Amino acid sequence: MATAPLLERIVARRTRVGIIGLGYVGLPLAVEFAKAGFDVVGFDVDASKVSQINVGRSYIPDVSASELSTVVASGKLSATTDMSRLGEMDVVDICVPTPLRKTKDPDLSYIVKAVEAVAATLRPEQLVILESTTYPGTTDEVVQPMLEAKGLKADRDFFLAFSPERVDPGNTQFPTSKIPKVVGGLGPASTELASALYGAVVARVVPVSSTRVAEMVKLLENTFRAVNIGLVNEITLMCHKMDINVWEVIDAAGTKPFGFMPFYPGPGLGGHCIPVDPFYLSWKARQNGFECRFIELAGHVNASMPDYVVQRVADALNSVAKPLKGSHVHLFGVAYKRDVNDVRESPALDVIELLARRGARVSYTDPYVPTLAHGASLLESVPFDQAVADRADCAVITTNHTVFDYPRIASLPLVVDTRNALAGDTRETIFRL
């Protein structure tokens, strides 16, 4: 059986595992493999990440310094920028970003560069797994031809699979090891090997019939969330017009034990998946002559929320006869979600830009994001106590970090609460979405 030698090494945990991309997906996965007894090498083009890992210093909130330093000290995990070492690995797991171009088309440049590095040292019996979120067909249309260019054949000489990452940064209830892993191989041998590998580190493996099914699974998961958030954001705009508290509506509807799942409004979508994945899906659908009208409409609604937040700031200032232009507006939180340091696609960035365009003086506080690029300048996070003492003309809760002292924020002259962090506070100085 072609898979027997590699399968035997996987079961015995004698497999050398290489992880390309040491961010929110790759680093937790590398640590899990190392904790399970595999020899793991992390690969990244960012030398600072490599240096921090090799001294056991974590830059990801979901990976504690103690667990990282333990596996590094044991010799089970190391990191390097030397991609030529990929040939030493039995398994190569690709966990690189897949952003959008300015045209909202998929940008596969990170995947292509990673696969080029793998192809340069590819040898028989290696297992290559792509985890980066992408459109259905990427593995067999893009990755497979690149790896087969020198004559080796997938699912015969080497093995190829797709397994979508399902990381939820900051979610302590569901770390990597507790999230079921969907696996779709290019053929039966590839599926078997990838399933065995992940079975050593996660609670449950869910094999599917192909790489395209596995790719589509991830897009369905995140498009489901994007569309439902779009729906509740539109309901929020509607409720505002009708003078109805949307948060009270959602809480009451959430008491129904069947047929309803609560989603919550906010200042817009952020992160590396939910704002991006629907565009990957609609782009691929267009290539096949299908128009995703429902999905794209949700995208338009979600993209409009930062403008709505700025309008609520203007409404708040207008209530005390102040113009937006020249007023000091202070944002509490710029990360895309609570208790993380990730600002990718964060709606707070759009809110800052829109406020600045309208002449507001903008500052922010975020203990997880000490500095923030804003055009050609660099903003620095204002310490919380100083931010409260400064008493900006209007404060905006854009990210509801648990470390914030919300009663003190509520005492500021005007507050726009985009996260319902001040639920129950009925002061007229607090404005909600």
The pTM of the full predicted model, rounded to 2 decimals, is 0.90
H helix runs in 123-210, sequence order: 138, 144-148, 188-199
How is residue 314 written in tokens?
């203007």
127 vs 115: CA distance, rounded Å: 13
Exposure string (b/e) for 360-373, b if CB count within 10 Å is 16 or more?
bebbbbbebbeebe
Highest mean pLDDT among 105-109, 373-377, 410-414: 410-414
> At 330, which helix (H) or strand (E)?
strand 328-332
Could you list the active site residues? 273
User: Which residues contact residue 162 at a Cβ distance below 8 angstroms, ignoring those fewer than 6 apart?
Assistant: 129, 130, 131, 138, 139, 183, 184, 185, 211, 214, 215
Residue type, 395: A
Could you give the domains of the chain?
A: 4-209 (3.40.50.720), 210-303 (3.40.50.720), 305-433 (3.40.50.720)
Strands 181-185 and 415-417 come out as unpaired
Percent of the chain with pLDDT over 90: 84
Q: pLDDT of 306-335, one tens digit each? A: 999 999 999 999 999 999 999 999 999 999
Taking residue 7's Cβ as centre, other Cβ atoms within 10 Å add up to: 18
- Intra-chain end-to-end CA distance of the chain, in Å: 60
pLDDT tens for residues 347-370? 999 999 999 999 999 999 999 999
Residue 100 CA from chain centroid, whole number: 13
pLDDT, one tens digit per residue, over 138-196 is 999 999 999 999 999 999 999 999 999 998 877 888 888 899 999 999 999 999 999 99
Contacts of residue 307, Cβ cutoff 8 Å, sequence gap at least 6: 354
Percentage with pLDDT > 70 across the chain: 100
pLDDT at residue 2 in the model:
63
Q: Is the pLDDT of residue 1 over 70?
A: no
